[in-house]
Structure formats: C-alpha cells, structure tokens
C-alpha cells in the first residue's frame, strides 16, 4: 500500500488528476471509475481544465459508474451521475457510449446491474478506480457487513442516511443504493483511495489499524497491491498526532 500525503486538498486533487491523465496516456482505451461524491470534485475540475489543454486523447476511454442512489438519475441535483456530468462529462467531448452509468431511476435495477457487470466483464477489469471513503468506511455503497460480489442493490446504512443530505438541495428519503460489488472494486488494476479533511481522519486511521473485515469495507483494500492512498494533511492521523 503506497500512501501519498498531500499538503492540502488542491494538491491532492491535482496529484490524483495527474495520475488519471498518466493512465490515459499509457492506455487510451482504459475503463475508469471516479466516485461521484464530494472528495473527487477537485479532480473533476482539474481534468475538465487539463484534458483538452494538455492534448490528452480521451476519445477511447470509457467511464463506468461506481454507484448511484436508488430513485435518482442525472435529473436530480446531487445524484452521482449529475455530479459527474456537471464536474466532468459535460465539460469535455464524450460520446454517449463512453459513459456507462447506473440509472438509479430505472424500472428494472437488475438490468442496470447486468449492464455494468457486462462492460466490466468484457473489459476483464476496471483499469483505474478512484474511490472516496464513507464516514463508516463504506466503498461505493458497500455498507458495513454487507457482502457483494458484482453490481448490487443494497440498503443504505444509518450513517449514510445521516450524511446524505450534504449532497442535495432538498431533503431526500432514500433507502437504497446501487453499487459496484467488492470483486469489481478489488480486482481493479489500479485503486486510488482519496481522503480529505479532518472529518475523515478517524475512519482513515481505523481502516489502517483494524483487521480486514466487511465491518469496515475500506479495510478490504489495504493489502491490495493495486492500492494507492492519496490523503491530505487534515485527514492524515500523523498530522492529528502532531497537533495534539
């Protein structure tokens, strides 16, 4: 497990975005996943500004969904798809077949899972996945003590329900999420876990200390050779110790 401690959120975002650009330069036909939460917003901004100016060939990349709130699609402000549309997809020239996303509002969610499973299976594995970490250590919507393999519909934990309103401009009553499963995440060829801000310090510390267990989903990553952690000083426990 490699860890990059960055001095602030801006540097963290730039480093992860540069890592994605490097991936595209090495393998233009990559399958890439970027989480639709708050943490990667700076990465999306950097990519929006630099993919064109740095003449990166993104004509063959495919972006595949990490997760989505059941009941929501790109029309709802705060949905994962809307966040990625707004942050990146709408700012560059992608064709519709370059974006494969869960439609959380689809009538048949099983078909949504199968659609995403097939793309990953055809590609063998995701080339690069950029993850945030939930306050309870969840990855995508793989909540504590839920075991998934491939794309799945899962019940949201109370922790997730408590924090979810930060994403929306109206109050939401959401109960389920649709998410990539552990196999798809853990078999990704490169895994980037991002953490920023002091509110992520204790869960990052716990992830590093605890035994690997589904009770803290992010702990499943820690002995994975593909993992690189990008963390800012506020989220880094060493920083917390120094200050106390």
Task: Answer for the pair 91, 99: CB distance below 8 angstroms, yes or no.
Answer: no
Residue 39 found at the interface with ligand PGA (CB under 6 A): yes
Choose between 51 and 185: whose C-beta lies nearer to ligand PGA. Answer: 185
Catalytically annotated residue among 68, 112, 136, 228: 136
Candidate ranges 35-43, 89-97, 151-159, 224-232; the one touching ligand PGA (CB under 6 A): 35-43
Q: Is 176 a catalytic residue?
A: no
Q: Which residue number, 56 or 132, has a Cβ lying nearer to ligand PGA? A: 132
Minimum gap (Å) between residue 75 Cβ and ligand PGA: 20
- Computed on alpha carbons and rounded to an integer, the radius of gyration of the chain in Å comes to 17
Cα 93 from chain centroid (whole Å):
22
- Do residues 150 and 181 touch, judged by C-beta distance below 8 A? yes
Q: Give the residues across from 152 on adjacent strands.
A: 179
Exactly one of 11, 18, 38, 73 binds ligand PGA (CB under 6 A); that residue is: 38
Residue tagged active-site, from 67, 68, 112, 232:
67
The SS3 of residue 135 is coil
Cα 61 from chain centroid? 17
Sole binder of ligand PGA in the list 134, 137, 181, 217 (CB under 6 A): 134
Question: Which residue, 89, 93, 70, is CA-closest to 173?
Answer: 70
37 contacts ligand PGA (rule: CB under 6 A): yes
Show the tokens assigned to 129.
């996945």
Using the rule CB under 6 A, is 206 a contact of ligand PGA? Answer: no
Beta bridge partners of 228: 2, 192
Residues that bind ligand PGA (rule: CB under 6 A) add up to a total of 8
The contact set with ligand PGA (CB under 6 A) reads 35, 37-39, 132-134, 138
């Amino acid at each position: 497990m490699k860890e990059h401690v960055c001095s602030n959120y801006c540097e963290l975002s730039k480093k992860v975005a540069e890592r994605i650009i490097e991936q595209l330069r090495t393998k233009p036909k990559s399958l890439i996943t970027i989480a639709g939460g708050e943490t990667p917003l700076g990465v999306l901004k950097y990519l929006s500004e630099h993919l064109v100016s740095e003449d990166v060939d993104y004509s063959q990349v495919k972006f595949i969904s990490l997760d989505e709130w059941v009941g929501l699609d790109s029309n709802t402000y705060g949905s994962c798809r809307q966040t990625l549309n707004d942050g990146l997809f709408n700012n560059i020239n992608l064709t519709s077949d370059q974006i494969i996303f869960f439609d959380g509002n689809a009538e048949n969610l099983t078909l949504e899972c199968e659609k995403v499973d097939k793309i990953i299976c055809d590609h063998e594995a995701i080339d690069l996945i950029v993850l945030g970490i939930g306050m309870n250590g969840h990855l995508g919507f793989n909540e504590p003590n839920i075991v998934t393999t491939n794309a799945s519909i899962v019940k949201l934990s109370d922790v997730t329900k408590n924090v979810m309103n930060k994403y929306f401009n109206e109050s939401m009553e959401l109960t389920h999420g649709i998410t990539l499963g552990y196999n798809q995440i853990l078999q990704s060829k490169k895994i980037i876990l991002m953490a920023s801000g002091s509110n992520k310090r204790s869960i990052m510390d716990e992830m590093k200390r605890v035994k690997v267990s589904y009770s803290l989903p992010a702990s499943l990553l820690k002995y994975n050779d593909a993992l690189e952690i990008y963390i800012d000083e506020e989220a880094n426990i060493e920083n917390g110790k120094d200050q106390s």
